[in-house]
Structures are given as C-alpha cells and as structure tokens.
Amino acid sequence: MSARFEVWLFAAQRLSALVLAPLVLLHLATIIYAVRGGLSAAEILARTQGSIFWGGMYGLFVVAAAVHGAIGLRVVMREMTPLSLIHI
C-alpha cells in the first residue's frame, strides 16, 4: 500500500461520509414515516418501485456505505486486531 493510495483511501472516506450524512438522515426520516404511517411492505414497494428518485438515493446510499464501511473496517482491523501484522 503506497502512501499515495492511502491518501486516496482517506479522501474516499471523507467523500463517502459527505454523501452518507444527508442520506442517513433521509433514511431515518423514511423509516420513521413508514413505520408511524403503519405502511406494509407491499405499500412501501407500491410507492417506491420504478421511482428513479428512490432508486437513485438508495443506490447511492449502498455504494457510499460500502466504500465507507470497507475502508473503516480496514482501519479497525489494523488498530484493534493482530491483523496489523499484515499490511493490508
């Protein structure tokens, strides 16, 4: 792992955090709305299926979470487990 690559990882971590912040809030708001509204799974799907907006938002959420989680777990593994001996 070169230093330049590690700085790119850091940049990706910050960028994905920037994307996640509003999307997490959106997700929380959506869950709360759906649960308090007593929506069933079928009803939720009926409202969101085929929607470019919902597909796009949650697709972005998944990508950002995958990037952020993977990079974060690498750091956690290095700092908290013996796997620091392997330069991952």
Only one of the segments 6-14, 19-27, 39-47, 53-61 lies at the binding site for another protein (rule: CB under 8 A); that segment is 6-14
Backbone angles phi, psi at 40, to 5 degrees: -85, 170
- Residue 8 or 33: which CB sits closer to another protein? 8
Separation CA 88–CA 78 (nearest Å): 8
Do residues 73 and 13 make contact, with C-beta atoms less than 8 angstroms apart? no
- Residue 1 or 41: which CB sits closer to another protein? 1
- The sign of the dihedral angle between the CA atoms of 70, 75, 77, 83 is positive
Q: Which positions from 27 to 66 touch another protein by CB under 8 A, shown as an x/- string?
A: ----------------------------------------
**For another protein, which residue of 3, 35, 41, 42 counts as binding (CB under 8 A)?**
3
Binding of residue 8 to another protein (CB under 8 A): yes
Tokens of 25: 């809030």
